[in-house]
Structure 1
Amino acid sequence: MESDESRRVNRALNKMSKLYREVKSRKLAALGLHPGQDVLLWLLAQEEDGMTVSQLAAQLGIESPTATRTLARMEKRELFRREPVPSDRRQVRIVLTEHARRLIPEIEAAWDELAEETLGGLSPEQRSAVVEALEDANDRLRDQVEESVLTEE
């Protein structure tokens, strides 16, 4: 890749990342949520019986202490309850409350709006190409991150 092109790519991705996060943050704020909490709630909603903190962290690709801190911030809003795991008394499952379940369609609507605002002006073919390119780039970067973690161990 030519130097001018790589600078253009870098600038575009940095700008996109910041703008996307800011707009998403504003939409989530209207629901009383912070970025990241939406994905956490959505994942929990997929599991009727909830998940342990370690399962949730693994699904999110974060460390358990990070998930614990996020949950601590959310606990005040009564978005979930902790239930004991019958087979392991040391573990608890995080289960969404009905209040949180009612937020899921609103979270999904915010995501839909954001996707439309971001790529809605493109043709279906262009949107597909953009999403495919981003997914491929994510895979390449994820491979690099996983390789560096493995070499550090």
Structure 2
Amino acid sequence: MDASEAMRVNRALNKMSKLYRAAKARKLAALGLHPGQDVLLWVLAQEREGMTVSQLAARLGVEQPTATRSLARLEAGGWFRRQPVATDRRQVRIVVTDTGHKLVPAIERAWAELADEVMGEVSAEQREIVLGALEQANDRLRALVGETVLAEE
């Protein structure tokens, strides 16, 4: 790839990343969430029995202190509760409340709306080409940074 094409790729990916995050932030603000909190709550909601902070951090591909800080920011919403782990008094299990479970469909709708808005009127064939290229690029980036866990959507 020559320098001008490399610049075009870098510029497009950087701009897309920033714009997507800003658009997502606007959609999530209507739900009382910030980017990242949607994924955290969605992942937690998939486990009816909840999960420990260390399990959540591993699932998200983040360090445990990062998961702890994110949970602290979310706690005021009443979307989850902490339960002691009977077999290990040092740990707590994070369990999504009914209020949190009711928010999950709205999160999924926000994701779907944003995906529709971003992809616009492209044909199904074009969409598959774009998604395939993006997925391949993500795989290569994961290999470059050594990430094996999918942390988002």
Amino acid at match of 2:20: Y
What is the match of residue 103 of structure 1?
103
What is the match of residue 64 of structure 2?
64
Q: Which moved more, 1:85-94 or 1:68-77?
A: 85-94
Structure 1 residue 81 corresponds to structure 2 residue 81: yes
Scaled by the length of structure 2, the TM-score of the pair is: 0.93
Structure 1 residue 33 corresponds to structure 2 residue 27: no
Amino acid at match of 1:34: H
Q: Distance in 2 between matches of 1:89 and 1:136?
A: 43
Q: Distance in 2 between matches of 1:6 and 1:138?
A: 17
Structure 2: unaligned runs, 5 residues or longer: 148-153
What is the match of residue 46 of structure 2?
46
Amino acid at match of 1:3: A
Provide the secondary structure at the position in 2 that maps to 1:21. Answer: helix
Provide the secondary structure at the position in 2 that maps to 1:76. Answer: helix
What is the match of residue 151 of structure 1?
none
Q: Distance in 2 between matches of 1:133 and 1:144?
A: 17
Q: Distance in 2 between matches of 1:78 and 1:51?
A: 17
Moved over 3 A (4+): none
Identity percentage of aligned residues: 68
Give the Å deviation of 1:89. Answer: 1.9
> Taking CA–CA contacts closer than 8 Å with sequence separation of 6 or more, which of the two structures ends up with the larger relative contact order?
2
Give the Å deviation of 1:29. Answer: 0.2
Structure 1: unaligned runs, 5 residues or longer: 148-153
Query: Aligned residue pairs: how many?
Result: 147
Provide the secondary structure at the position in 1 that maps to 2:135. Answer: helix
Provide the secondary structure at the position in 1 that maps to 2:15. Answer: helix
Q: Distance in 2 between matches of 1:127 and 1:86?
A: 48
Scaled by the length of structure 1, the TM-score of the pair is: 0.93
Q: Distance in 2 between matches of 1:120 and 1:104?
A: 24
Q: Distance in 1 between matches of 2:139 and 2:58?
A: 17
